[in-house]
Structure 1
C-alpha cells in the first residue's frame, strides 16, 4: 500500500513549477467547484490532505496541475486502488477509463513491522533521490464539489519487497501523457514491473 509520501517543491524545479501553478489555480477559484478549500500540503503527506495532482483533459490533451483531496470518501476513506483488481471494482472501473491522474512526489514511506511482540516498526523512505520527482499513478473523481483521488498500488519491486509487498504504481516521467491519454498504454502499465528504488531507514 501507500499510506504516506513526501512533497518538497523546493527540491526540484519541475515540482516547484507544478506546485505554484496548482496553488494559483486554488487562489483563483477561491474554493469554488471543483477545488477543495485547503492549500496543498507539503512535507510528509497524510491521507485526507489536499495534494498536488496532474489531471489530463482528453478533449484537448492538455495537462494541468490541480489540488485534490487524497482519499475517496465512502464508508471509510479509501486512499489506494489495487492495480490487479481495480478494473473489477464498480468504484474504480469508470474512473480508470476516464479519470486517470498522476501524483508528483519526492518519495514515499513504508513500515517494516517487527516479528516480536512490542518490537518497534522501522520506517523506510523510498525514492530516486529527494531532488528527483517520483510520479505515482492515480485515479480521481468529483464528489460533492471537491476533487478526490486515490493512488494505485501494485506488487513491490525486490528492492522494496523485504519491507512491504506493495508499492505505488510508478509512471516514468516520459510516459506521463501516455498514462493520462492512452487507454491501451495505461492498461498495460497495470501489469508492468516496477523500477528499483533507493531505501533510507528513518527508524
Structure 2
C-alpha cells in the first residue's frame, strides 16, 4: 500500500485521503495500462447516475447482465486495495474485517471516466465466514495471484466472479 500511496502522492501531491473511506469519497485504485504495467490513481467511490443517485457497489452475480455495468466489465476492471472494510449489523454495531498483520485486501472493482476524473464501484458477493454473522454482502476479494488476471484477462476475470473467499478477522469497532 505504501508504494501505491507514493505513486498517488507523486501524481496528486495536494490530495489527502481519509483514513476511513465512505461512498462518494476519493480512494486509491489500481488500473491496467495498455503497456501491461499496473498504475495507481484516485477515483471517487461511486458511479453518479443522471438522477444524482450514487451507485457504489455492483453485485458479482448480476454485473455481467446489467446494462449499467456491462460496458465497464470488458475494459474497465480495476482493483481497490485496502487494509480492512467495515460492516454494520442490524443493531448498528460496527465491525472491521481484515487479514490482520496489516496485509492488504484487494477488492474487485470497475471504473469509468467521468469528467476530469474516475469513478469506481466495488463488486460485492454473498457473505461467508465471519462477515456472514454481521452482514449479507461483502466485497469480492481477490488473492495476490488473481490481480493480474483480473486486470488483463477478461475470460479469467469472468471466472473470478465466482471464486471462493479467504478467511478474515473480525473486530468490533468502538465509537
TM-score between the two structures when normalised by the length of structure 1:
0.81
1:171 and 2:142 correspond: yes
Cα gap change, 1:41/1:112 in structure 2, threshold over 3 Å: closer, same or farther? same
Q: How does 1:7-156 map to 2 (within 5 A)?
A: 15-27=1-13, 39-57=15-33, 59-74=34-49, 75=51, 76-114=53-91, 121-129=92-100, 131-156=102-127
Q: Which runs of 5+ in 1 are unaligned?
A: 1-14, 28-37, 115-120
Gaps of 5+ in 2: none
Partner Cα separation in structure 2 for residue 144 and residue 17 of structure 1: 27
Residue 67 of structure 1 deviates from its aligned partner by 0.7
Number of aligned positions between the proteins: 172
Normalised TM-score (structure 2):
0.93
Alignment partners' CA distance in 1, 2:16 and 2:165: 27
CA distance in 2 between counterparts of 1:47 and 1:162 reads 23
Q: Name the residue aligned to 2:160.
A: 189
Q: 1:149: how far off?
A: 0.5
Q: Distance in 2 between matches of 1:202 and 1:19?
A: 25
In 2: Cα distance, 1:90 partner to 1:40 partner = 34
Shift of 1:40: 4.6
Q: CA RMSD in A?
A: 1.3
| Equivalent-residue separation in structure 2 for 1:46 and 1:39 (angstroms) | 16
SS in 2 for 1:131: coil
Q: How far does residue 160 in structure 1 lie from its aligned partner after superposition?
A: 1.2
Distance in 2 of aligned mates of 1:134 and 1:81: 18
Distance 1:130 1:155 in 2: 25
Deviation at 1:107, TM superposition (A): 0.5
What whole-Å deviation, never above 9, does each CA across 1:38-80 have from its counterpart, x for those lacking one?
72513111111111100002x3111001111111100201110
C-alpha distance in structure 1 between counterparts of 2:142 and 2:16, whole Å? 22
